[in-house]
Structure 1
Amino acid sequence: MIKGKKILVVLPVSEGQKERLEEFADKSCFTYTSYKKATKKMAEEADIIIGNIDPDLLEYAKNLEWLQLNSAGADAYVKKGVLPEEVVLTNATGAYGPGVAEHMLAVLFSIQKKLHLYRDNQNQCEWQDEGEVMSLRGGCALIVGLGDIGLYFARLLRNFGYRVIGIKRRPGQVPQGVDELYTMEHLDELLPEADVIFSVLPETKATKNIFNAKRFREMKNSAVFLNAGRGSAVNTEDLCQALIAGEIYGAGLDVTDPEPLPSQHKLWNMKNVVITPHISGDFHHPATLYRIVDIAAGNLKRYCAGEPLMNVVDRETGYRK
């Protein structure tokens, strides 16, 4: 049992999920709250925090030993001065595959079948034919950032006959559901092959504006670009110009730069863009919170046993080690 630790949980957990978390620690150690309701006093008292607390409160968390995020991205928490080096930082990589991948597949299909245009027409009470559409089957998909989300997306696309190419930071064995695997150095030579490009990149110095005017020009003019990683991976102005010029067919964005996207931004009014407000990785999909709780509970068990924690974040890269 974890003795004498005060554990702050910043997650909308059910009673059953509380029991799952408390299995390896005395119940009196736990405080449950939300992101908006977490206080300076709660942060001051916590030895362990489970969930994405407001980074500004962490300066008061002088007793903190370990922060378990409920997100896969850790960009707000790896900035200098946010967390002392001795605090272990873990993320929720592995929780978001179904939620994000299924959402972005729906966005892709909407673009390919012009369903977003027909919804716009419906809102205007217009009976209008929008012309030729794409087939849902076949083609080549390039997944840039082949983690849990990328792999889940790859396996979904394989059901529709896609050839799937993955890009990772480091070389390794080609995972099941992927046809070919490369590293980032091969991005430029792979972009011209892809009918669908899916970015699932985190926010790091290396990924900022990686999709820019040069790379949009390398894509097919029939390509669909999807982004569900971080908006900072895309130069938004360059994306707009590529869409206007017809250098790519369309874009599906669950993340943007800036975010939230200003109401007057020209992206909102582009007919070949589908935008959702960074919600694919939230708790909307029923599997997501269960997976997060499983990751946190597994790490509590390891913490209790003095074993190394899973999903430890590298502070320099922002990725899981």
Structure 2
Amino acid sequence: MAKKEVVFGIDEKFNLPDSLREKIKEEFTDVFHFVEVNGDGELGRLADPDVFIGWPSDKMLRVMPNLHWLQLPSAGANHYSDHPLLADHVVITNASGVYGVSGAEHILALILAFARGLPVHIGQTAKHIWQPYERPVLIEGATVGIIGLGDIGSEAAVRLKAFGAHVIGVRRHVHDKPDFVDALYGMDEMNQVLGKSDFVVNVLPQTDETEGLFDSERLSCMKPGAFFINVGRGQTVDERALALALRNGRLGGAGLDVTYEEPLPKTSELWDLPNIVITSHSLGLSPERLEKLAALISRNLRNYRDGKPLVNVVNRKLGY
């Protein structure tokens, strides 16, 4: 019986260390034929892949007509869920679970930065100014609204509860409220959450439903002086409306790990606002992320080999 072909799509954003790739290959060498492709210039190496691990380009997708399963290295799947070159039968899985802990700690870092006035202190440090920050905020007792209670949002909620915050969440399905949130709301009740929250954490994926969701009207529902944290997708936020709310003092500050265009253009007004922190899509970085990602890939290859359900299957209609 011929071995099924599995492709590692290697690029500057996804390149497991040789040791991790070899470990994966060694476990499955009896059932899978592994091919490594680095860019569109190596399309000739593809025979008829069943599985692709990585972010395939359009040219790659065109030469893989019999692809059955696409394993993404990211939690987000918005670019591929409705991709016209991916047949309906192709199963897409994402890397949800790999970035939960680092994502939660990143959220906490941004919240703490604004709670203790670190953007102000950093600016003063550069100018050699010794001046206490007179408007600190305590996380204990503060209300934190988490919009999107997936892996990252849930991990953040657990840690925020340990800080003594009142945590309220928004997600599509409101049944079975988890213990780590104090209240749970549906997407249609989001404005209520925004009006109650001292910190709003957006962890939503990019879908047709969430595109531009945080516009001027939505941002105006937030408490005056509240802080907005976006670690979901930049396309969910109207950046002009956000910049205006930050400039006129309607919002106390914003922590952005993602932006509409990445890298954020040097001409963007967001760079120059004093009450903003931009962290350049760094949420997923951690010392263990590649080991966790390799373990997830191995687990799913094992399930694929054994005919068991794959982990982290993306609902292609919803986009996540």
- Fold agreement, TM-score > 0.5: yes
Separation in 1, partners of 2:243, 2:281: 19
Which residue pairs with 1:148 in the alignment? 151
Q: Deviation of residue 147 (structure 1)? A: 0.4
Is the 1:302–1:309 Cα contact (8 Å) retained in structure 2?
A: yes
Separation in 1, partners of 2:128, 2:195: 39
Match for 1:46 among 39, 44, 49?
A: 49
Which residue pairs with 2:315 in the alignment? 314
Q: Deviation of residue 20 (structure 1)? A: 4.2
Is the 1:3–1:25 Cα contact (8 Å) retained in structure 2?
A: no
TM-score between the two structures when normalised by the length of structure 1: 0.90
Match for 2:174 among 171, 174, 193?
A: 171
Runs of 4+ in 1 over 6 A off after TM superposition: none
Match for 2:16 among 13, 16, 20?
A: 13
Gaps of 5+ in 2: none
Read off the aligned partner of 1:317 and give its amino acid letter.
L
Separation in 2, partners of 1:44, 1:207: 38
Which residue pairs with 1:122 in the alignment? 125
TM-score between the two structures when normalised by the length of structure 2: 0.90
Q: Deviation of residue 291 (structure 1)? A: 2.4
Is the 1:113–1:134 Cα contact (8 Å) retained in structure 2?
A: yes
SS of 1:30's partner is: strand
5 Å-filtered alignment, 1:157-196, equals 157-196=160-199
Gaps of 5+ in 1: none
Is the 1:102–1:153 Cα contact (8 Å) retained in structure 2?
A: yes
Read off the aligned partner of 1:198 and give its amino acid letter.
V
Q: Give yes or no for the alignment of 1:57 onto 2:60.
A: yes
Q: Point out the more displaced range, 123-132 or 173-182.
A: 123-132
Is the 1:204–1:318 Cα contact (8 Å) retained in structure 2?
A: yes
Is the 2:7–2:53 Cα contact (8 Å) retained in structure 1?
A: yes
Q: What is the number of equivalent residue pairs in this alignment?
A: 315
The root-mean-square deviation of aligned C-alpha atoms, in Å, is: 2.2
Match for 1:133 among 114, 129, 136?
A: 136
Q: Give yes or no for the alignment of 1:24 onto 2:28.
A: yes
Which residue pairs with 1:216 in the alignment? 219
Q: Deviation of residue 138 (structure 1)? A: 2.3
Q: Deviation of residue 226 (structure 1)? A: 0.5
Q: Give aligned-pair identity as a percent.
A: 37
Q: Point out the more displaced range, 289-298 or 25-34.
A: 25-34
Separation in 2, partners of 1:44, 1:99: 37
Q: Deviation of residue 130 (structure 1)? A: 4.5
Q: Give yes or no for the alignment of 1:71 onto 2:74.
A: yes
Which residue pairs with 1:275 in the alignment? 278
Match for 2:232 among 229, 232, 237?
A: 229
Is the 1:99–1:280 Cα contact (8 Å) retained in structure 2?
A: yes
Separation in 1, partners of 2:71, 2:135: 48
Q: Deviation of residue 58 (structure 1)? A: 1.6
